[in-house]
Structure formats: C-alpha cells, structure tokens
Amino acid sequence: MVRLLSLGLVLLAASVMDAAPGYQEVNSAFGSAILADEKLWDDDPDSVARRLGLPVESRTATSSSYRLYTSADKKVLGTHPYSIALMAMEGRVAQLSFVFTNSGDFGNVSDLKDSLETAVGKQRTDLNKKLREAVAAFPAAFRSDVTTLSGELTKLFGEPTSGRDGASRSTVEKLQRWSWSGHTIQLATKDNQYVALRILPETDAAGSKPLRDSEVKARLRNSLERRSNGDVVITGIPMVDQGPKGFCVAATLDRTLKFFGIPADMYALAVAGDTGMGGGASPSKMMDATADLARSFGCRFEKAGSSVKIQSVSRYLDEGLPLIWSMNVVPVLHKNLSDRTRQRSQTSDVKAWKTVLKGWRKMIGRVKPEPGSGHVCMIIGYNKETDELAISDSWGPEYAERWITVEEAEMISQNRLHTLRW
C-alpha cells in the first residue's frame, strides 16, 4: 500500500512537470519571441529588445530601458497591449511589462482633447461625440482584458494565486500571480484604471527593500558632470517616454524615483494623481503619492523654492538632485530649444555662443504661454557663464537634455519646484 501511494505521488509529480509549458509554447501564446530558452534573466537585454522590436528609451551607467507604443493590430495573449517595456539593471534583464487597457492611452482620448481646444462648429460636435463614446467604452474594454488575460495565463500556467501588493498605500494593486521556470508573471489592476502584465524574476517578485545610504550618496555624487565649457549637468537620469498622452507629471516623477533606485511606474502614479482619461492630473495628489512612496524607501519629497535663477537651483543641482519644474508650454519656443541645443553642441567657443544667445534674448517678449498649457519637466543643469539651464522632458531620448536661457525659463515658469532628497 505504501509503495503504491509513493508510486502514485511520483506519477502525479511527473504529470505536473510534463504539463508545464516549454518556452516555445510560451512564445506562441504571447505572440512574440520573448524567450530564447527557459530563462529570460541571463539573456543580453539588447538581444531581448531586438527580438521584441523595442527601441531604446534610456541608457545610463547602471540601467537601460526599451519601450514601444504599439499599433492597434499588435496582440499579446489575445488582446492589444498599448505599450511594451523592458527594464535592465547592471546589464541584466530585470522586468518585461505590457500595459493593456488604461485610462491614459485608451481611445485616443488625449488627441481628441487636444483637438477640442481649437475645434468649432460641427467639428467640435463630432469630436465631443467621439470622446463620449471612448469614455463609455472603457469599462467594458477593461473587463474584457482582465478576463482574456487571466484566462489565457491560467490555460498556460495553471491556477494563479491572488492578493494585493504595493510599496505604499497609494500604489497598492490587485494582483494575480503565476510561476514558471524562475519567472513570476503578475497580472495587475489598479482602481479600474489600468491592466498591466509584468514578468519578473521570482527572487524580485516580493518587492524591493529600502535603499542603502551609501548607494544613494554614491549615485548622486557620481551623477554630476562638470564640463570644460562651464556646463554642470546631472547625468544618468533614466528616460521614461510618456507617449501620446498627458502623463508628463507621472513620467517625470517616475524618472526621478528610478534615478534614486526606487521602482516606480508612471501608470500607477497617474492613477494616484486622479489622472483623467487621456491625461490631465492633480499634481498635488500625485506628488503626495510620490512622497508616500519615497518615505517607504527612506527618502523625502520636498519643495525646492520658486525661483529658476541659477543661484537658487544650483544649491540642489550641485548635490546631484534634479528638480521637478512646473511650467507652461510655448510650442514655438520648444521647437527653437531643440534646434538651438543642436547648434549649441556644435559651438565649442563659449564667447561665440554667448553672442548667439544675445539674439535669442532679444526675442523674449514674443514668448507667450498659452492658457491651459501646463507641463512638468526636470531642471538637470546650469551654466553660470551663459546663464542657461538644462532641462529634460519625458518625450523620449532626444529630449533628455536641452538648454534654455534663465530669462525664457522665468517667462514660462509656474514658480513651483520640487526635489527628492535622501
């Protein structure tokens, strides 16, 4: 009897092992060549990104990221992911994530809202109708994604475990978890606002621990670059591309937290800030959520004054602390900044560049902030001799460092600066 029972247990264990899918079966279900073998974590991050067609979003000394906002025909596990992102730390894959139905990307709501600002007559009526239809369609799309993804993952990996998790109260998510070959697969939802799927190493799935003082201080110390032309710039800040939606606050806070080594996600931060469909958030609520998250890792989030003059901002920048800056967008100025920054990189002589800036300074009176054009970005550097500031926007790698005169910055500033401090 004992022998028969032992044999039965062995056969049962063998059948369970046989039921586990191979990596090719996982790839087939996901509709993408995620895996080259049974283990993702020893693959070269660039190779994984190439397999998935993900462009580089950011590279720093310690991390890299890759992100793609997908076309409508892209399917993963039978439904459409709006974005796919790969994170790597110290040259090793750390996380692969997919964001499905979410209040930021869904239904082109952000574009519809932008178009409504200038639309009149029948065009405005039609846009309002499309906007109402998109908002009305969201709950069903959300439920459908949860049902489809949960069903497909259960067919692939078996029944999940369920629970809630988050580094702070404002970022707690509802989770379903599956395990496979050293991978944890998490299906996460937050307040009926987004559906996210994350693949993590099993050892990391329990969450991150508070940062060590020496690690943070070394990161800040090593981030400051002093250039021969007088530029003082904080380098190594990860890029997070907000995509075609009004997530500038969430993406900028996400970048700041990641710079300090705190795991963050712009979609979760956006929900914490009561972000509406397509974007448009409560910055104060989102910053409160960021402060809550930062405290759980031993950091604090604080106001950094209101002035963008160099003598004010340099106090923080010299410590390796990037500043979160609330300002107004002036489209013609932002285009000029991109062109001007390219010209600046090709002008090695500081005196010659100061002469060029004289022409731009004469045009300051033409800078007219538009009503409702609020935006948040980072101030990451300064040059005392040319009286310029380096700014960084969450619009992709080409916006990681651009230069603006202090006079221009004062014209568009909303006089609110914040920083994260260890």
CB atoms within 10 A of CB 11: 10
Cα separation values, 337 from 234, 237, 252, 342, 362, Å: 19, 20, 19, 9, 15
pTM, to two decimals: 0.83
**H-type alpha helices, 179-309:** 213-223, 248-259, 266-272, 283-295
Q: State yes or no: pLDDT of 265 exceeds 70.
A: yes
d(CA 220, CA 130): 47
Structure tokens at 393: 């926007």
Positive or negative torsion for Cα 92, 78, 395, 291: negative
265 phi and psi, to 5 degrees? Answer: -150, 125
Q: State yes or no: pLDDT of 6 exceeds 70.
A: no
Give the residue among 253, 283, 233 at the shortest CA–CA distance from 401. 233
Percent pLDDT > 90 in the chain is 58
Q: Ramachandran region of residue 248, left (φ > 0), alpha (ψ -120 to 50) or beta?
A: alpha
Residue 275 pLDDT level (bands cut at 50, 70, 90): low
Over the stretch 198-237, which tens digit does the pLDDT of each residue have? 999 987 654 455 567 777 778 888 899 999 999 999 999 9
Please enumerate in sequence order all residues whose Cβ is within 8 A of that of 72, keeping only pairs 6 or more positions apart, or say none. 80
Cα separation values, 173 from 83, 91, 103, 160, 176, Å: 19, 28, 15, 16, 10
According to CATH, the topology of domain 213-421 is: Cathepsin B; Chain A (3.90.70)
Over the stretch 333-374, which tens digit does the pLDDT of each residue have? 888 899 999 999 999 899 999 999 998 888 877 777 776 678
For the chain, give the number of residues: 422
Overall average pLDDT of the 53-60 stretch: 94
What average pLDDT does the structure give for the chain? 87
Over the stretch 101-121, which tens digit does the pLDDT of each residue have? 998 888 777 778 778 777 888
Overall average pLDDT of the 388-394 stretch: 97
Find out whether 103 and 242 touch, Cβ atoms under 8 Å: no
pLDDT of residue 262: 86
Residue type, 84: I
231 phi and psi, to 5 degrees? Answer: -65, 135
Higher-pLDDT residue of 225, 127: 225
Lowest mean pLDDT among 4-18, 199-213, 234-248: 4-18
Domain range list for the chain: 2-204, 213-421
Residue 407 pLDDT level (bands cut at 50, 70, 90): very high
- Residue 8: Cβ-neighbour burial (10 angstroms; 0-12, 13-18, 19+): exposed
